[in-house]
A and B are shown apart, each in its own frame.
Chain A
Amino acid sequence: MFGIAKKLKAMGIVGINKRNCELVLPNNPRRLYPLVDDKLRTKNLAGAVGIQVPELYATVETEHDISRVEKMLQNRDEFVIKPVNGSGGKGIIVVVGRHKKNWIKASGDRITIMEIRRHLSNILSGIYSLGGTPDTALIEYRVHSHSIFDRIAYKGVPDVRVILYKGIPVMAMLRLPTRASDGKANLHQGAVGVGVNLITGHSCGAVCKNEMIEHHPDSDEPLLDFQVPFWKDLRLLASRCYELVPLGYLGVDIVIDQAFGPMVLELNARPGLSIQICNQRGLQHAVDWVDRYKEEHNNQIPQDAHIRSELAERLYRDLVPSAEVTETDDKEQPEIADNKP
């Protein structure tokens, strides 16, 4: 037992106590939490500095707004309804198409306008928010998963979680929904987690339900040679989120849209630790690397997100000696249909 703990420590694996004690509590001031918990505020902040986010169609704050929104929705075939203060993906409805007067959900079920009205009403009453406080609903653009993911993502939209420590990307993983996770990109529910090479965006090991795998459990597609498209843009996008919300330990969830490329979906003030399993390395070494860097540079972390994003490469090279090997086949970038919204 203690032998395992010792080895984990040597690997730099961070446990929950350590995360809370040494990463979250000292680096994440409580007053900034509302910025990440409130999806609307995150979205507005991001939009203000030009960070790409799914377009906001409408917000619903009162029962009265529901009728107004209803008219607006008549012109839309696809959209997502979310509670602003929801957690764990609760209360999210993804509408993917139209069938006569009704809409079709991602699951394939029909949904009527009455059901949508009731759902909005439920969100307002606070059913999905923590502590049952009254909430706001937001209706936004439905992300179309990039076609490169078609064969390795079951139904849902895969996303990339990047962890920033003091603004520098220190670890990243790609989360692929599976049949078992019911299209959700949540590792606890059986989604596949793929560790990502911070330099190139190549996958470096995949995990499903804590087991190392090499192929996607549903499609049997190989996962090990996969490369996340627009990796450098994505990494930069993640780094820029630190300017938005200066939390020292921050998780950024990014989706890659077929039309618009990387988009920030959500920020997280206390990102989980499974990312260490997919990457086969601990966060502690990266955290130490950043702290050392900061000390060597007059206690300063570069203001420029580009420099911070580049620093991730240096960090990765220092921590993962075998990182360079995969850099060679970085030429082939998938095409983007249209990079501007």
Chain B
Amino acid sequence: MKSKHVYVLAGILILIAAVMTYQKIFTLGLPTAPAETTEAWIVEAKLNFEASGKGAKVDLVIPQNPVNFLKLDEDFIASNYNLAIDELADGGRNAQWVVRRAKGLQTLYYRIELVPQLEPSPNYGPEPAFPKKPEYIGPEASAIKSVLDKARDGSFDSATLTRALLQHLDRYRNDEDVALLRKNATDDTEWVKYIQFMLDGVRIPSRMAQYLILKDGAQHEILQPWLEIWNGEQWLSFNPKDGEPGRPTNGLLWQYGETPLITVTGGSNPSVDFSISKRPRGLVSIAKEKSKQEASYLMHLSLFDLPLQLQNVYKLLMVLPLGALVVVFMRVIVGLPTFGVFTPVLIALAFRETNLAVGVALFSLIVAVALTVRFYFERLYLLLVPRVSAVLIVVLITMIAISLISTRMNIHAGLSISLFPLVIITMVVERMSVVWDETGPKNAFKNALGSLFVAAICFWVMQHPLIRHWFFVYPETVLTVLACVLMLGRYSGYRLSEIWRFRHLIKQPDFHNNEQADSAQKK
């Protein structure tokens, strides 16, 4: 009955942990391994203008929340300038630098760091009004009409019509009508504007999006115009050159419309120069950024929200349950003797300060010395608390001695001992001497070796980068550990050590049989 209850509880805990972890991995894209990195783009916009010598005001359109990127960081670098950022109606932002007095060439920087989103969000923007049908005039009118008519054939909605129109304009450049129309646009931006003008004729709402195409090491990049149309439900993107639907690959949506990228008052010759580079960035740091920006309930349960100092504490604390699980397993399933329940975990924590081999050596040395002194104290018939305190002081003195000697000998491992937890060793000495007195040295050593062995395993588990990462990024894993501990709490099978202990009960009949067989052979 009770067992069933425990298993159901454990199942629920594991399920909760699994669901949370699954969501974190597959919807938030949290990394499953500590070293995982992704490519982060760094876009730097360099603004130049010639200041007139009086006050100057610079307006730069900057992206807000780029649809298919996650903004990790942004910097505004301009000395002496005051910065103000406004949100624009179309979802972009405007950065305004103001300076009271500036003369000569001015250089300002805007830097943004981005990583690609796993699931790009749809184009945003309010539902537009339907455009009025423009009055086309002259030879243009018949050309537009003929082109639109051709596009209308074989299309059934605004998306297919737009695509057909763009394809037609691309494929039949030599066609009279198309050539005539193309003469109206001198550059890509003009051309997109002209396409919008044509789409107005079939009353399809459209807008221009300006993308920055990200290429590693690119210099002097300029924004690429893109076409978006409203199909009655959402904004759809099209490549204005060939009519392919979708956003440009690696395109960073910088702004909508044709607002000038940079406006300068009180200066001349403004220019914006984009340079783009790529660098690897740890997924964890990205996840931290994400936790700030996304209002997911999962991220409210994330340890990334804590102050950095607390985070470091929890990085350590989160793996303690796993150490406890190791101890539980070793005691309940294997049946290894250890001093106390958590002594091995605490010893393992002590090893963190050194490394395993040095840790074990130092630990054994200090315990041996302190134990010897402890036996001397035993003969003085000291009361319990003063005796334990005396041992603590002896442990400290031993540690000082080891540090001094190793420093003299230029062994640096000895220095890290200073953080080797004092109280833990004292408790081990006390417990070991009690076991020694009560059940003999053999048992004491058995317990000590058992503790040390379990501590080594705990240490290995607790310092493993993957495990540490996993428990910190997915704290809900603790629920799984809890479930395992609960289930082990109802384990009523044999310990491995008991199979050894009771083995004679089994071998007995075999033994007799063999004996009989032996004596029979002799006869």
Which residue numbers of A lie inside 8 Å of B, CB to CB? Answer: 1, 4-5, 7-9, 11, 13, 15-18, 21-22, 88, 90, 118, 122, 125-127, 132, 188-189, 207, 210-212, 276-277, 280
Contacts and interface: CB of A to CB of B under 8 A. Distances in A.
B384 A8 contact: no
The residue among B490, B491, B503, B506 with the most chain A CB atoms within 10 A of its own CB is B506
Interface stretch (B126-134, B228-236, B434-442): B434-442
B499 A4 contact: yes
Nearest to A119: B381
B391 interface: no
Interface string B47-73: 000000000000000000000000000
Interface string B488-500: 0011111110110
Contact of B492 (A4, A18, A277): A18
Contact of A13 (B385, B440, B505): B505
B41 to A, nearest CB: 57
Contact of A15 (B443, B490, B494): B494
A126 B439 contact: no
A212 B504 contact: yes
Given A1-B499, A8-B506, 8 more contacts: A4-B499, A4-B503, A8-B505, A17-B492, A17-B493, A125-B383, A276-B505, A280-B508
Nearest to B501: A210
Contacts of B399: none
A5 B499 contact: yes
B438 A127 contact: no
Contact of A132 (B335, B384, B493, B508): B384
A127 B434 CA distance: 10
The residue among A1, A15, A211 with the most chain B CB atoms within 10 A of its own CB is A15
Contacts of A13: 494, 502, 505
A212 B385 contact: no
A319 to B, nearest CB: 15
Contacts of A212: 504, 508
B119 to A, nearest CB: 48
B381 A122 contact: yes
8 contacts: A1-B496, A8-B499, A8-B506, A11-B506, A13-B502, A21-B491, A210-B501, A277-B504
B385 A132 contact: yes
Given A15-B493, A16-B498, A210 B504 contact: yes
A88 B505 contact: no
B395 interface: no
A18 B501 CA distance: 15
A237 to B, nearest CB: 29
A90 B506 contact: no
A276 B495 CA distance: 16
A90 B381 contact: no
B332 interface: yes
B506 A7 contact: yes
Contacts of B505: 8, 11, 13, 276-277, 280
Contacts of A18: 492-494
Nearest to B437: A90
Contacts of A189: 439-440
A127 B384 contact: yes
A15 B495 contact: yes
Interface string B299-314: 0000000000000000
Nearest to A188: B439
